[in-house]
Structure 1
Amino acid sequence: MKHPILASLLALSGLAAADSLPLIPQPVNLKTGEGSFDFSAATGIRYDRTLKAEAGLFAADLKALTGSEPKAVTEEMRIMLPSEIRLDVDTTADLPAGGYKLEITPKTVVITGKDSAGAYYGTRTLLQLLPVANDPAWKDQAPEKLPAVSISDYPRFAWRGMMLDCGRHFFEVKDIKRFIDELAYHKLNVFHWHLTEDQGWRIEIKKYPKLTEVGAWRESSPPYGNRNGSDGKRHGGFYTQEQVKDIVAYATARHITVVPEIEMPGHAAAAIASYPKLGNDDIPGYAPKVITLWGVHPYTYAPTEDTFRFIDDVFTEVCALFPSKYIHIGGDEAPKTQWEKSPRVQELMKKEKLKDGHDVQSYFVKRVEKILAKKGRKLIGWDEIREGGLSPEATVMSWRGEKGGIDSAKEGHDVVMAPNSHLYLDHYQEPKEAALAKGQDKEAIGGFLPISKVYSYNPVPAALTPAEAKHVLGVQAQLWSEYFHDFPKVEYMAFPRMAALAEVAWTPLEKKNFEDFRSRLNSVLKHYDAVGLKHGDPDQPAK
């Protein structure tokens, strides 16, 4: 079985070979050896009994590649295998959490994880050294030559995330799982699931059925090329609680945490249309509905006891579905106009000595933080939750550049860096004119974000001291879905920029090199093509 990439690697030695291994993200330490290991469809898996789930997923992946399912046995079973990959765990290994070692010699392949996550990441690395699914090489039935190599690897950041907006456009469960598969392939470990919006409420809440009966549906959407227009087509959908449990379990098995986002106090029109008493119903012209246009809209939750009871009830059900330590409350783009017009809110401001709408938002967020704290969860929100004063234990996701993250870290708050300047994958990945020349369906919200700019990002701002930098939990890219009418468009915008994010999130800063990354990316592009993923062209010219 011949494979051109691996054949060329075997002809190399030393640093050149290390630099050329088609691995993304680039490992922390990699050293090539002599010879190669013969991998074939007969190669089995011998695993530590604590890694049964990881071994099962790895076996399924190998079956997808080779067409035949490898035999998988525990270490205790005295069953001879023609050749084997050992999957082990060593909690005493000199590695951080999520770390692993991969040793390939002519006789053995051993993956040893610091923990189960590390063992799983080691299997992702090994998969990248094999030909992709449907490669003609697998039909030869001859051994694939895996180059001898010693890898010691671990992630730079604990939070390596992707956000997908299902509020503006609803995507099927099968698509969400496909997305999770790709997060796992890239060693990303947080799926930030944006579930509620002005344009749609996407999660079943049993105590409040109108949220999905009313809030999950809108009468129309703007078509591509006409941002203020209407396609006249009803759009919607939601995830049942059983579907949510299924998706969470699917992600958890792949060492991915699902962080749900339930937007408040703004971006709440769909919920308020479902239960109008949740909004500022004491203002003139009050007529909430599920919004049919994009942008920022005025309907915000009223800061009343009824609203906080509703939020408590919703989070009771949300927390039962999501084991995530963090619950995202949004907090961005909340207009203060309705609060300014509401006699009820003006009374609250006098009572609580709140001087303006920013103080009202801070009051609101602090109340929500207490609700989550009683449920044993931590609040995370976009950097607008700083307005009027940040909640005591809140974590900030900084999207309007880095300032919100810098200021929060300096104040002792944890942060996730997610700036729109480098990590908004809803921006054009090629010059706008070139994109639209391919069709209106390539429309994006705006901006220009080539893969090289994504790759250039360093999540630790220079303005932070080493002590302050410890508050940077990690990094996350966003896929807002105004201009993603279907899932192939999501894929087209996400890939291959997700590969650049993966290296930003995992690889030590000093080991990053865009030209080398671009060379290694060719192997990942073959993976995308083999599994039928839509993706952009990484070699588009600069604007």
Structure 2
Amino acid sequence: MQLKNGLIYLLTILCIYGCSKPIEKSGNGQIIPIPEQQVFEDGYFTITNQTGIQFDKEFEIAGNFLKDYIHTGSGLALGSGTDIRFTKEPALDTEEAYSLEISATAIEIKAATAQGAFYAVQSLRQLMPAELEDGSYLDKAITISNTRIKDRPVFSYRGMHLDVARHMFPVSFIKKYIDALALLKFNNFHWHLTDDQGWRVEIKRYPKLQEIAAYRNETQIGFFNTKPHQVINETYGGYYTQEEIKELVAYAKARFITIIPEIELPGHALSALAAYPELSCNGTPLQVATTDGVFDDIFCVKAETFRFLEGVFDEIVDLFPGQYIHIGGDAAPKTRWKNCTTCQNTMKEQGLTNTVELQSYFVSKIAQYLHAKGRQIIGWDATLNSKLAPDDIVMTWRGPEGALAPAAKNQDVIVTSKAHTYFNRYQSETPNEPLAFGGYVPLKKVYQFNPLPATLSAQDAGRVLGAQGIVWTQYTVNAEQLEYMVFPRAIGLAEALWSHEKHKNYDNFVSRLSSFHDRLDFLKINYANHLHQLKGHMVTKDKQSIYELQKQTDSTVIRYTLDGSIPNMKSKLYNNGIPITKNSIITAAIFDKTRRLGPLFTETIQWHQAIGKDIILDVQPHHAYPGMGSDGLINGVLGNSNRYRDNEWLGFFGEDVEITIDLDVPTTINAIAMRFHNGKKQLAYAPKKVEIELDNKTIFEIDIPESNESVVPVVFEKNYTTRFITIRIPNFGKIPEGSLGEGSLAWTFIDEIQVN
């Protein structure tokens, strides 16, 4: 054996120094998520047709995955032997931990469980050439750099969500999605199967769910707030058969991913009520929703409803053997319940004082039924008001701070965050991005996400199981667009949840991601590539307005023009800022030594008299929507009309705002213009009026007509000489009854105040 190993080592050394081509085809040693420990060593291990593999039955899934991956990717067939071996290591302290040791003579994977061994294989996979992903690797050997890795995750729950109710995706794509999650060491797939716009799971006991609830007459396109709605006037829908679901559950299980089904209740149920209107409060005919939104018709609180849902869950439990069933529990308007005799009688019988308690009663009954079936529930924030079992989980969309209330009640929590993990939102500020839900969640923000609230005690921190990315599909119509929205943000989230804080560094991640793009290319994943994309903003320095550009990579340069023309290798080289003194169209791009990289960056500066002047706000914008701060209101840059979460919009929650601009000296002005975001779905309302005071003495009041437009412009025209401009913006007040967020104070969003 020693002689054999010595010969193998000698041949390996000769190949390393004499056969350059295999070395060029080796992986680059960079792994995502970054391991807890990784030590690189000299030399390579070489896989050939003579390489053997050994694993016990416990490690069959990981071992066979590796054999199939190598054979499919390169044509090499691993035989029996100990060159690549799996070893049981009970001392590893978690079921997902592993060690991976690659030397010139062997690859050894150690794990306490089959799951840990599988994750070791995913890391080993990333150390191999990316061409193996699509079978295009044509060399006769695979070389892998010697390295030693010890690894384990920080959070036990690492999930990705997918809404198939709004738009449906074929079984083949769901498998591709699961494969990508497995590569990134996610372990849960939250499958949103039912909503107002469609029912996607076959329930044999209730055939109308397949015949009626699974199809809608037309589909909204364009923004929900755009009125009238634009639609595609054709039937849309479908559902996954029980055989397809069983196939997908088994497929995911073989990759150590648990599929968690979500059946929404008591709200988001319009598709089910269209099939069985007797389960609504009115009992009148209904249609599957054709637009986005929150609808008043929800499940009625009566015996027939509970019998129906129990029948549904009887089949769901058989289809999905995992521990958890997600039951939604949010966005349930109480309008119908307040006027429903049956619901009011139930409240009296149960001693309930309001419809919020009635919703808790509804959710608790379903939870108890599932508990009797041996399952635990996951529900959105609203379920915290219900009677939950100790093992039930609250999933909060409010971000890390949303974990505080469940943890205080000794309830486990999974954190999602509209500001960090909602991948249906924009990831770039470039104007050619595909239509998205609104808001701005760039890759860096995802990567820096930490599910643990800063104020959570060490004792309660254990209640935060982890987090997941959310993908609502109102505006995501096909698989190609879905991949663009999810990747690479899901890659950033994978590292945020798996890797230890001390090892996380965004610049290092970007470097590894740039190499990882090659693997995504071979996997034919349509990822968004913003690594060579510029960001810019206006700053004021010593009363001078400077436009600053930022890039993510150090080995490149920026070239720009100021007249809107496309920059080239001869264009001006960016250094430390661009002085701005007039209307300008900045067009810039990143270049290496030979060519332009990435997309063009364009910013239009509308010069006006307040740019660079002093500005004072009597209240500060909300921490969730700070924009560029007060200076951003007079920087000459308009916010994106469709994305209120870009850096130009400042958001104020429920507060009156007073803004004072000092023009330094008395200045003749002709007009003051401003804009307000008016997105009812984001609980944002333009004010009903604004008040403008000039030179601390003359006050003008401007009434603002009610509008359904997403952006409401306000223009005040007056020839006047003044030094000080004070603008008072009263908050809209409480959101009207019947509207989303009724009774809550409205948000005020403003982007630019132009003084001409």
Mapping of 1:310-459 within 5 angstroms?
310-386=308-384, 388-389=385-386, 391-393=388-390, 394-431=392-429, 433-435=431-433, 442-459=434-451
Q: Matched residues in 2 for 1:277 and 1:307: separation?
A: 9
8 A Cα contact 1:98 1:155, kept in partner: yes
Provide the rounded CA distance (Å) in 2 between the counterparts of 1:256 and 1:34: 35
Q: Within 1, Cα distance between the matches of 2:143 and 2:70?
A: 15
Could you tell me how far 1:273 is from its partner in structure 2?
0.8
Q: In the superposition, relative to structure 1, how do residues 495 and 37 fare at CA in structure 2: closer, same or farther (>3 Å)? A: same
State the alpha-carbon separation in 1 of the partners of residues 87 and 485 from structure 2: 37
Q: Which residue of 1 aligns with 2:285?
A: 287
Residues 7-65 of structure 1, C-alpha deviations (whole Å, 9 max, x = no match): 8x6xxxxxxxxxxx310000011122232212335534221222223222222222232
Q: What is the aligned partner in structure 1 of residue 265 from structure 2?
A: 264
Give the TM-score taking structure 1 as reference length.
0.90
For 1:189, the equivalent position in structure 2 comes to: 187
1:474 to 429, 452, 466: 466
Aligned counterpart, 1:501 = 493
Residue 467 of structure 1 aligns to which amino acid in structure 2? Q
**C-alpha displacement at 1:313, in angstroms?**
1.1
Query: Distance between the aligned counterparts of 2:488 and 2:290, measured in 1?
Result: 31
Pick from 70, 74, 78 the counterpart of residue 71 of structure 1. 78
Offset, 1:5: 8.4
Confirm whether residue 487 of structure 1 aligns to residue 495 of structure 2: no
- Cα deviation for residue 233 of structure 1 reads 1.6
Per the alignment, do residues 470 and 309 of structure 1 end up closer, same or farther by CA in structure 2, a change over 3 Å counting? same
Give the counterpart of 2:522 among 510, 526, 530: 530
SS at match of 1:208: coil
Quote how far apart the aligned CAs of 1:484 are: 1.1
Q: Which amino acid aligns with 1:261?
A: E
| Maintained 8 Å contact 2:400/2:450 | no
Q: Indicate the residue corresponding to 1:139 in structure 2.
A: 138
Specify the alignment match of 2:245 in structure 1. 244
Structure 1 residue 69: Cα displacement: 4.6
Would you say the 8 A contact 2:416–2:469 is kept in 1?
A: yes
Question: SS of the residue aligned with 1:479?
Answer: coil
- The one-letter code sitting in structure 2 at the alignment partner of 1:89 is K
The answer as to whether partners of 2:222 and 2:230 remain within 8 angstroms in 1 is: no
Mean CA deviation greater in 244-253 or 92-101: 92-101
**Residue of structure 2 equivalent to 1:36:** 44
Q: Which structure has more helix as a fraction of its residues?
A: 1
Mapped to 2, the partners of 1:213 and 1:230 lie a distance apart of 22
**1:56 corresponds to:** 64
Aligned-CA RMSD value: 1.9
On the 8 A contact 1:89/1:116 being kept in 2, the answer is: no
Which of residues 21, 44, 47 is equivalent to 2:55? 47
Whose radius of gyration is greater, 1 or 2?
2
Contact 1:298-1:337 at 8 Å conserved across structures: yes
Q: Given the alignment of the two structures, is residue 88 of structure 1 paired with residue 87 of structure 2, yes or no? A: yes
Q: 1:519 to 1:410 in 2, by over 3 A?
A: same
Work out whether residues 402 and 415 of structure 2, in 8 Å CA contact, stay in contact via their aligned partners in 1.
Answer: no
Q: What amino acid is aligned across from residue 115 of structure 1 in structure 2?
A: T
Is there any run of 5+ residues in structure 2 with no aligned partner, and where? 1-20, 536-645, 647-756
Distance (Å, rounded) in 2 between the aligned partners of 1:151 and 1:243: 38
Q: Which runs of 5+ in 1 are unaligned?
A: 10-20, 74-79, 436-441
SS in 2 for 1:422: coil
Using the alignment, how far apart are the partners of 1:467 and 1:70 within structure 2? 50
Question: 2:110 — aligned with what?
Answer: 112
The answer as to 2:462 corresponding to 1:462 is no
What displacement does 1:310 show? 1.1
CA 362–97 in structure 1, closer or farther in 2 if over 3 Å, else same: same
| Of 352-361 and 289-298, the range deviating more from structure 2 | 352-361
Q: Over residues 285-305 of structure 1, what are the superposed CA-to-partner deviations in whole Å (9 max), with x where a residue is unaligned?
A: x43210000121112111111
The 1-side partners of 2:464 and 2:110 are apart by 28
Counterpart in 1 of 2:577?
none
Higher mean Cα deviation, 401-410 or 463-472? 401-410
Distance 1:144 1:222, change over 3 A: same
SS at match of 2:420: helix
Other-structure match for 2:707? none
* 2-structure distance, mates of 1:182, 1:234: 31
For residues 459-484 of structure 1, what are the alpha-carbon distances to aligned partners after superposition, in whole Å with 9 as ceiling and x for unaligned?
11112111101011111001111111
Contact residue 92 and residue 98 of structure 2 kept, 8 A: no
Alpha-carbon distance in 1 for matches of 2:430, 2:208: 40
Q: Aligned equivalents of 2:79 and 2:306: distance in 1?
A: 51
Following the alignment from structure 1 to structure 2, what is the Cα–Cα distance between the partners of residues 88 and 183? 25
From the superposition, tell whether residues 140 and 70 of structure 1 become closer, same or farther in structure 2 (CA, over 3 Å).
closer
The residue type equivalent to 2:85 in the other structure is R
Contact 1:98–1:118, Cα closer than 8 Å, also in 2: yes
Structure-1 separation of matches of 2:223 and 2:79 = 52
Give a deviation string over 1:348-399, Cα, whole Å, max 9, x none.
Answer: 112222222211111111111101100000011111212x445343310010
SS of equivalent to 1:428: coil
- TM-score, L = length of structure 2: 0.65
Separation (CA, whole Å) in 2 of partners of 1:232 and 1:27: 50
Between the aligned partners of 2:325 and 2:393, the Cα distance in structure 1 is: 10
What one-letter code is carried by the residue in structure 2 that aligns with 1:33?
E
Distance (Å, rounded) in 2 between the aligned partners of 1:490 and 1:269: 25
- Listed one character per residue, the Cα deviations across residues 379-434 of structure 1 (whole Å, up to 9, x for unaligned) are 11111212x44534331001023333211012100000111110000001111524
1:280 Cα deviation (Å)? 1.0
Residues 137 and 242 of structure 1: CA distance in aligned 2, closer, same or farther (over 3 Å):
closer
C-alpha distance in structure 2 between counterparts of 1:224 and 1:57, whole Å: 42
> Do the aligned partners of residues 494 and 316 (structure 1) sit closer, same or farther apart at CA in structure 2, a change above 3 Å counting?
same
SS in 1 for 2:115: helix
Matching residue of 2:740: none
Distance 1:359 1:152, change over 3 A: same
Q: Quote the Cα distance in structure 2 between the aligned partners of 1:150 and 1:385.
A: 45
Aligned to 2:33: 25
8 A Cα contact 2:414 2:468, kept in partner? yes
Deviation at 1:70, TM superposition (A): 2.3
The structure carrying a bigger strand percent of its residues is 2
* Identical counterparts, % of pairs: 37
Q: 1:451 to 1:4 in 2, by over 3 A?
A: farther
- Distance in 2, matches of 1:5 and 1:383, equals 49
**Structure 2 vs 1, CA of residues 271 and 105 (structure 1 numbering), >3 Å: closer, same or farther?**
same
Per the TM alignment, residue 3 of structure 1 is displaced from its structure 2 partner at its CA by: 5.3
2:73 touches 2:135 (CA, 8 Å); kept in 1?
no
Query: 1:154 is matched with which residue?
Result: 152
Is the 1:47–1:86 contact (alpha carbons within 8 Å) kept by the matching residues of 2?
yes
Shift in alpha-carbon separation, 1:224–1:131, aligned structure 2, 3 A: farther
How many residue pairs align between the two structures?
Answer: 510
**What residue in structure 2 maps to residue 14 of structure 1?**
none
Q: Provide the secondary structure at the position in 1 that maps to 2:529.
A: coil
State the one-letter code of the partner of 2:51: T
* Native 8 Å contact 1:458 1:509 kept in 2: no
Alpha-carbon distance in structure 2 between the residues aligned to 1:4 and 1:456: 33
Cα pair 1:32 1:149 within 8 Å, conserved: yes
